[in-house]
Amino acid sequence: MEEYVIYMLETDYDAKRITDFLLSEYSFDDRNHTPGEIMQLKNNAIKSLGENNYFYWYAENKKGEIIAAHGVYENEQKTGGYEGDYLVVHKNYRNRGIASKMMDLMLEHLRINKARYLLVGTCDTDAYRAIRHLLEKKGFKQAGHYPHYYFEGEGKLVYYIKI
């Protein structure tokens, strides 16, 4: 039996819980967020409830605690291209396949909804090696690199997959 259940976000209450999780000490190994990232972490889950084609999923453990969150949204072109929001798993629940399962659910949802492609950005530092590995395992290809994007010495890698 699974030790967690994945849900699609539907309520303000759960959006607030996702926000609390994303801002907690249990979410990111790299907690040196940019001011823009902090705004996104505070606002994106609730924002997703008010926009078409913006989706969030979250995983709960048996105690009802959020242990993972993931979002995607249709980009500004509104032609079926999507961009990934954060995919974060609680530090105590990593290496159990949760991120992989959440990504599979998200990709299937995008296929059903006739998305054309998905872009995912991530940092080029070692702290983000696991997500880069997962993206490559799922068939994403690196499509770009923006050196020093987040901070000096912290670049952004962009990955692409055709849906």
How many C-beta atoms lie closer than 10 Å to residue 134's C-beta?
Answer: 17
Binned at pLDDT 50, 70 and 90, residue 1 comes out as low
Measured CA to CA in angstroms, residue 22 lies from 2, 28, 135, 138, 148 at distances of 22, 8, 20, 23, 23
DSSP 107: H
Average pLDDT (124-130) is 95
Among 123, 130, 129, 120, CA closest to 151: 123
Helix (H) or strand (E) holding 58: strand 54-61
Task: Determine contact, residues 32/151, Cβ cutoff 8 Å.
Answer: yes
Domains with residue ranges and CATH for the chain: 4-162 (3.40.630.30)
pTM of the model: 0.93
How many C-beta atoms lie closer than 10 Å to residue 153's C-beta?
Answer: 9
**Is 70 exceeded by the pLDDT of residue 74?**
yes
Instruction: Give the pLDDT confidence score for residue 157 in this predicted structure.
Output: 98
Among 75, 101, 77, CA closest to 87: 101
**CA pair distance 113, 105, nearest whole angstrom:** 12
Among 86, 2, 102, CA closest to 47: 86
In this structure, what token pair is assigned to residue 138?
């799922």
Average pLDDT (50-77) is 97
Binned at pLDDT 50, 70 and 90, residue 29 comes out as confident
